[in-house]
Amino acid sequence: MAFTKTSKLLATVAFTSAIGSAAMAQEVEVLHWWTAGGEAAALNVLKEDLASKNVGWQDMPVAGGGGEAASTTLKARVAAGNPPTAAQMLGMQLREWANEGALGDLSSVAEENNWAEVVPAAVQEFAVNDGKWVGAPVNIHRPNWLWINAEIFDAQGLTPPTTWEEFNAAADKLQEAGITPLAHGGQPWQDATVFDDVVLGIGGPDFYRKAIIEADMDALGSDTMVQVFDQMRKLSGYVDENFSGRDWNLATAMLLNGEAGMQLMGDWAKGEIIRADMVPGEDILCVAAPGTEGSYLFNTDFFGAFDVSEESKPAQMELAASIMSKEFQEAFNLVKGSIPARTDVAPDNFDACGQKAMEDIVEAADNNALLGSMAHGHGQTSSVQRAMFDVVTEHFNSDMSSQDAVEELQIAVESAML
């Protein structure tokens, strides 16, 4: 397990490294939003690893809104000329900060450790900017999971749907049986997570890339997009009446206690499943969202390295190296529910869903179907992403027609790109 590995590592490092002075020679200040429970504890692994290399960890957590609060803090810190050594970022944020010229260069440590070989190309697209490694990826999340309450499906004689038609059929059946088909929380990012799945499931990877990642106006205005919104409309009929504003974990709780049959949510839901003493892959099935088998939406948390003073750079490099160490990647992702950002970590310790994800990602990468998730900051710049959120949420919460939604989407995206 993680801890034995870490302590082993700790021992080795202590052996080889300096004739240990008690005070930390160097310190890294890390801004992140992993503040609660398991994920914060997992990050502690990183802290201790660094401590063993005589690098002190200055913790700067700011939680809230999936990193929104942290990103505001980050802007203030950069504006003050006082950036942290490293800050947690999603892919698009990393790119945007790199484009602002605020980030440093991790290339030397990346080359030394062969990151280019082990990190999936799609992830590298974010981590490498203008030929330089600007951030170290920590994990790979998969938002396009469909979680299924196995007991309910057995009782109703249903099999996991692989297309949206099948999904609708299963949902209708659940509805007849008085079970809420889809556990969902009406928050923009949750709506958008579902939207991502529908776009990918109905339009396929190429369409997703054109419409979402490239924000191609023709794709956004196409009939396929109309169909996507048609499906979204159907989905809005499959949620319970009190869905609006609900936190995702309360939606997961509905799935776990049998009030709802399915939930479209990322792999972080596993934490809730395990906490309820259920087994992911057995009690709660994990399958790719309908029509997305073979594709893999991802979002990755990076630690963006800021352009810090020369004397702080060695510590920053140590931090990056530690983040990319197999030990940390494994230990952290076991807790987090995601899979390591490097492909050469053994899958043995991961649960069934994790192992499936590790297989799927290889397949998807080969098929050029490993795609950044729009809902989770890997599809579009913040402004376009939020513009899409606006339309998706508006449509999901009103009786807007699919045709209108498509038009709104085009207008919103266009004006956000200005």
Query: Whole-number minimum distance, CB 205 to other proteins, in Å?
Result: 25
CB closer to other proteins, 46 vs 211: 46
C-alpha distance from residue 110 to each of 16, 85, 114, 119, 215 (Å): 22, 17, 6, 10, 32
CB closer to other proteins, 31 vs 200: 31
Q: Tell me the backbone φ, ψ of residue 159, rounded to 5 degrees.
A: -115, 155
**Given 2, 5, 13, 68, the residue binding other proteins (CB under 8 A):** 68
By CB under 8 A, tell whether 403 contacts other proteins.
no
Which range of residues in 16-24, 80-88, 105-113, 346-354 is near other proteins by CB under 8 A? 80-88
d(CA 338, CA 13): 27
CB closer to other proteins, 35 vs 113: 35
Which range of residues in 37-45, 196-204, 304-312, 318-326 is near other proteins by CB under 8 A? 37-45
Which range of residues in 38-46, 130-138, 210-218, 285-293 is near other proteins by CB under 8 A? 38-46
- For 160-185, b/e burial (b = at least 16 CB within 10 A) is bbbebeebbebbebbeeeebbbbbbb
By CB under 8 A, tell whether 312 contacts other proteins.
no
Query: Whole-number minimum distance, CB 46 to other proteins, in Å?
Result: 8
By CB under 8 A, tell whether 58 contacts other proteins.
yes
d(CA 116, CA 188): 35
- For 186-204, b/e burial (b = at least 16 CB within 10 A) is bbbbbbbbbbbbbbbbbbb
d(CA 72, CA 83): 12
Query: Whole-number minimum distance, CB 169 to other proteins, in Å?
Result: 27
By CB under 8 A, tell whether 69 contacts other proteins.
yes
Residues 6+ apart with CB under 8 A from 415: 387
d(CA 361, CA 333): 15
CB closer to other proteins, 198 vs 369: 198
d(CA 295, CA 22): 49
d(CA 136, CA 127): 7
d(CA 338, CA 223): 34
83-142 residues in contact with other proteins (CB under 8 A) are 96-97, 100
Q: Using the Cα atoms of residue 206, residue 211, residue 212 and residue 215 in order, give the sign of their dihedral.
A: positive
Query: Whole-number minimum distance, CB 255 to other proteins, in Å?
Result: 12
By CB under 8 A, tell whether 82 contacts other proteins.
yes
Query: Whole-number minimum distance, CB 106 to other proteins, in Å?
Result: 21
**Given 216, 293, 394, 407, the residue binding other proteins (CB under 8 A):** 394
**Given 1, 22, 23, 418, the residue binding other proteins (CB under 8 A):** 418
181-220 residues in contact with other proteins (CB under 8 A) are 186-188
